[in-house]
Chain A
Amino acid sequence: MEELEQHGIVFATSKDYHFDTVAIDVKASGFTSADFLLAEFHKYGINIRKIDNNTVSVAFDELVTLYDLDQVIEVFINLKKG
């Protein structure tokens, strides 16, 4: 979460009190819409969840690898760079 925060991603989930899911405030993070993020992540074969038009979440289970995690972070950072 820290790394993404440094790149301007704003979380809707508490940094200290969460389990396996983090939600992201779409507009505050500088993205146009939740649908836009869903479509971008789809290109990489990653399913993220649309909670509402301004919130998406990413959930992790035990099958997620560090490679997958890197990819999620990379997609966010690349989108921020435009």
Chain B
Amino acid sequence: MLENPKWYTPYTPYQPEIAQGRLESLLTFQTAIVELTGLPVANASLLDEASCAAEAVQMSYGVHNGKRTKYFVSESIFPQTIDVVRTKCDALGIQLVVGKLENFDHNQAKEFAGLMVQNPDNLGNLADHTELGAKLKENKVLFTICADILSLNLVKPPGEMNADIAVGSAQRMGIPMAYGGPHPGYFAADAKLQRKMPGRVIGQSIDRHGNLALRMALQTREQHIRRDKATSNICTAQALLANMAAFYMQWHGPAGLRKIARKCHFMA
């Protein structure tokens, strides 16, 4: 696939008439991400884990219409993710607070648009954030979990931990390391956030003959005009890599992926 010209564009197919195969594969990617994260909507990938995290920050900020100007990031997430989030916060005028999760003051939660953790974290530790998620929900703080997609075959998914958004890299779904990239990022969210979803979402429709057809769905027009008002300015996906990840996940199936995940855990 990686070397096949019929597949190797990074762009999301705009012309459904000639791209049903690629669209179907992207829909498979979205479906697999939905199943693994336990959240109902996923997009057709973003550029990498860190930019997904930055988009999660922007989404959280947008949901509160810019009225909550603080965002909390647990210090035990990957440093490159914190760096990209910091850049995004600088651009949007969000006050970024990076600190220990236990130091987050729930009494001041209403000042925060969102909170982000990583599971497993920078040191490899897994945690159950269900209670934290429930507490954040009470104060409408959007909860984002950066999760290792393979680990979700074995551990409690973000959707069951009351997360509103789950992001991460799908590199380990069959994508070569390639000296650091590119790798597809995945982005899944709660249904109430689907109209603010960054990037591309592939959906089902019917063609003029009434047959099932796939096409891009739920694009906000602000992505193209009035761009400063857009909920996100991301207009593409890592389509080739997401498609490769989709085939990898499809080839192994849920049981095969669990087996792979168990092997990785066993080795550690």
Contacts and interface: CB of A to CB of B under 8 A. Distances in A.
Nearest to B171: A61
Contact of B120 (A12, A18, A55, A62): A18
A20 interface: yes
Q: Which of A19, A23, A51, A69 has the most CB of B within 10 A?
A: A19
A18 B267 contact: no
Nearest to B119: A19
A19 B123 contact: no
Nearest to A55: B123
A62 B123 contact: no
Contact of B265 (A12, A20, A69): A20
B150 A20 contact: yes
B34 to A, nearest CB: 21
B30 interface: no
B172 A18 contact: no
A60 interface: yes
Given A19-B148, A20-B151, A13 B264 contact: no
A20 B264 contact: yes
A65 B148 CA distance: 21
Contact of A62 (B125, B148, B264): B264
B260 interface: yes
Interface string B102-120: 0000000000000000001
Nearest to B264: A20
A60 B267 contact: yes
B122 interface: yes
Contacts of A18: 120, 124-126, 265, 268
Interface string A26-68: 0000000000000000000000000100010111111010000
A20 B268 contact: yes
Q: Chain A, interface size: which category?
A: 20 to 34
A23 B120 contact: no
A40 to B, nearest CB: 20
Contact of B124 (A21, A61, A64, A69): A21
A10 interface: no
B154 interface: yes
A41 B122 CA distance: 20
B92 interface: no
Nearest to A64: B267
B267 A19 contact: no
21 contacts: A12-B123, A13-B124, A13-B125, A14-B125, A17-B125, A17-B127, A18-B124, A18-B265, A19-B120, A19-B150, A19-B264, A20-B148, A20-B150, A20-B268, A21-B268, A51-B122, A58-B268, A59-B124, A60-B267, A61-B264, A64-B267
Given A18-B124, A21-B124, A62-B264, 18 more contacts: A12-B123, A17-B127, A18-B120, A18-B125, A18-B268, A19-B124, A19-B151, A19-B155, A19-B265, A20-B120, A20-B150, A21-B120, A60-B267, A60-B268, A61-B172, A62-B260, A62-B263, A64-B264
